[in-house]
Structure 1
Amino acid sequence: MHIEPGILAATKLSFATIAASGMLLAYAPRLLKQPALLLRTLLAATFFSLFMQLFHMPVGASELHFVGAMPIYLLLGFVPTLFGFALGLLLQGLLFDPQDLVHLAVNALSLMVPLAVVHYGIGKRIGRQFSVANIVKLDALFYSGVTLMVGFWLALGQEATPLAQWVQFAASYMALVLLEPLVTLAVLRLASLLGDRRWARLCLDERVTAAPAAA
């Protein structure tokens, strides 16, 4: 889902920076008021960065990554995942791919916008009903959004990108729609084995927002 440096003009990068900053600022009060969400944001950024490093390869007009979006979202919640995407991409740029920092806002929006569509579209309604069918729906909607966002940025590019290259990139994400639900189910199963331990709930259950009460 990366947009390579040089494709977008400086004015469009500025637009992306304003849009990404505005989106994060809109949710910043919720993040700052709930300390547990800060912990989950760090966890989301860490897992996202690890998933990104595990598998990535150039495909067509962009790059195919294993994002791990749904395991992160379902376990850590919407706001931590939203900020985790942005922070994880920043870490990727600082540690591994400095050239990608130019398009930090562009690449962040390519994940953040589809995540918001998933959350407000079907995610809140599905809640914690972690069936295979629901997880596949979430993945299909999210990765459809990612491929459309990449197409949007390519359409704004300084040079025309052949449609066939975008189609090749979009088709490659079908493999993730089939694979990621299996990973999601395995991660959810592992998390369920932790039971009701307070530290686990603080890290993994977005309904827990405060430190343990005194006995």
Structure 2
Amino acid sequence: MHIEPGLIAAPKLAFAAVAATAVLACYVPRLVKQPLLLLHSVLAALFFSVFMQIFHMKAGPSELHFLGAMPIYLAFGFVPTLIGFALGLLLQGLVFEPQDLQNLAVNSLTLILPLMALHYTLGRKLVAQGVSRVQQIVKLDAVYYAGVVAMVGFWLTLGETATALGEWATFALAYAPWLLVEPLVTLAMLWLIDKARKTSWGALCFQAPAQAQ
């Protein structure tokens, strides 16, 4: 889901930075009102960073990463996941890929906007009901990753060099196997987290499902 450095011109990067800052500014105040969300956001960023480093490869005009989006969303809640994505990308840029920092806002929006669309349409309702079946997780994954793929396509259309539709399709198809793999990871992680929530430290660290708003 990374947009490679140099693809997007500076004025468009500046626009992305303004947009990303505006989105984050809408949710950061919640960390002040609920300080525990800050801990959850940091944990979400750490989990996200680890997941991204577990697997990544070149796929068409972008990169394919194991994001672990649904495990993080269902474990920590919406706001910590949203902020954790931005913090995780910042951490990755500072530690592993300094050249990606110039596209920090672009890559953050690529992950954040689909998460917002998912949460305010399908995710919030499913979480309130309780997510426990593979079919529910597959539905969440499919909607989210369709949004990520669409965002990558959007940024490619703004690129300074033309990108063939076939290359974007290669990237899109590369995510298909994760629709099979990630639900299993999600179920395993949720099972472990349910066990951890029964401890004092687990109750502190992990957002309860009903509170993932």
- Which range, TM-score by smaller chain? over 0.9
User: Which residue matches 1:161?
Assistant: 163
Give me the whole-angstrom Cα distance separating, in 2, the residues matched to 1:38 and 1:198: 18
TM-score of the two chains, using structure 2 as the length reference: 0.95
Q: How many positions carry a matched residue from both structures?
A: 209
- Report SS of the residue matched to 1:160: coil
User: Which residue matches 2:14?
Assistant: 14
Which deviations, in whole Å up to 9, do the C-alpha atoms of 1:63-98 show, x marking residues without a partner? 000000000000100000000000000000000000
1:136-151 pair list within 5 angstroms = 136-151=138-153
Paired residue type of 1:150: V
Q: 1:206 to 1:28 in 2, by over 3 A?
A: farther
Which deviations, in whole Å up to 9, do the C-alpha atoms of 1:148-192 show, x marking residues without a partner? 000000001111101100000000001111110000000011112
Q: Is the 8 A contact 1:194 1:200 kept in 2?
A: yes
Structure 2 portions without partners, runs of 5+ = none
- Report SS of the residue matched to 2:198: coil
User: Which residue matches 2:108?
Assistant: 108
Determine what percentage of the aligned residue pairs are the same residue: 58
User: Which residue matches 2:122?
Assistant: 122
Further displaced range: 136-145 or 198-207: 198-207
Give me the whole-angstrom Cα distance separating, in 2, the residues matched to 1:106 and 1:195: 35
- Report SS of the residue matched to 1:174: coil
User: Which residue matches 2:75?
Assistant: 75
Which deviations, in whole Å up to 9, do the C-alpha atoms of 1:13-67 show, x marking residues without a partner? 0110011000000011112211110000110000000000110000101000000
- Please point out which of 131, 134, 137 is paired with 1:132: 134
Give me the whole-angstrom Cα distance separating, in 1, the residues matched to 2:209 and 2:142: 26
Backbone CA RMSD of aligned residues: 1.4
TM-score of the two chains, using structure 1 as the length reference: 0.94
For residue 196 of structure 1, report the CA deviation from its aligned partner.
2.6
Structure 1 portions without partners, runs of 5+ = 210-215
User: Which residue matches 1:41?
Assistant: 41
Q: Is the 8 A contact 2:197 2:206 kept in 1?
A: no
For residue 199 of structure 1, report the CA deviation from its aligned partner.
2.2
Q: 1:158 to 1:71 in 2, by over 3 A?
A: same
Q: Is the 8 A contact 2:75 2:209 kept in 1?
A: no
Q: Is the 8 A contact 2:13 2:106 kept in 1?
A: yes
For residue 129 of structure 1, report the CA deviation from its aligned partner.
2.5
**Does 1:197 pair with 2:199?**
yes
Deviating above 3 A after TM superposition, structure 1's stretches of 4 or more consecutive aligned residues are 206-209
For residue 195 of structure 1, report the CA deviation from its aligned partner.
4.6
Paired residue type of 2:134: V
Further displaced range: 66-75 or 123-132: 123-132
